[in-house]
Amino acid sequence: MKQTTEKITVSLPADTLRMADEKYKVLGFENRSDFINTAIREYISRDILRQFSGELAEIYGKIERSEIRNLEEHLSKLSYKIAVEIAQMNLFLTSIMEVPYLDTHKLRGKAVQMVNNSRGYVPLTEAVKSRMEIRYMDDTDES
C-alpha cells in the first residue's frame, strides 16, 4: 500500500542539501525525498521518545520515593517493636534480680550514653569494661 504524498517547497541551507545529496544513496534511500521524510520522522520519533522517557523517569521516581517511604515506615515499626522487646526483657531481668530503681536508672543512662557514642552497637567487651556495681535490695550500706 503506497502512501499518498504531497509536494511541498522547503528552503534548506545549501550545505544541508549537499549533505543530503551525498548521503541518501549511501544510507540506502531511493531519493532525497525519502531521506528527508525519514529524517523528519526520526526526529519526531526521538522527541516523542524523549518526552515518554521523561514521563517514565518521573513515574519511576515516584515509585522509588514511595518504596523508600514504605521501607522507612517498616523499619521504624520494627525498631519500635525491638525496643519494646528489649525493654520487656530489661524489666523482667530487673524484677528477677530485684535491682533498685536508682541502679536501673543509672544503668539505663550508661546504656544510652554507650549506644550514642558507638552509633548503635555496643560490643560485649565494651559493656564488660563499663559495668557498674549493682546493689541488691537486701544489701545495706552500713558505713
SS3 labels along the chain: CCCCCCCCCCCCCHHHHHHHHHHCCCCCCCCHHHHHHHHHHHHHHHHHHHHHHHHHHHHHHHHHHHHHHHHHHHHHHHHHHHHHHHHHHHHHHHHHHCCCHHHHHHHHHHHHHHHHHHCCCCCHHHHHHCCCCCCCCCCCCCC
Question: Between 37 and 82, where is the model more confident?
Answer: 37
pTM of the model: 0.40
pLDDT in tens, 101-120: 787 777 777 777 777 777 66
What's the mean per-residue pLDDT of the chain?
A: 80
pLDDT in tens, 81-101: 877 777 777 777 777 777 777
Q: For position 106, what pLDDT does the model report?
A: 79
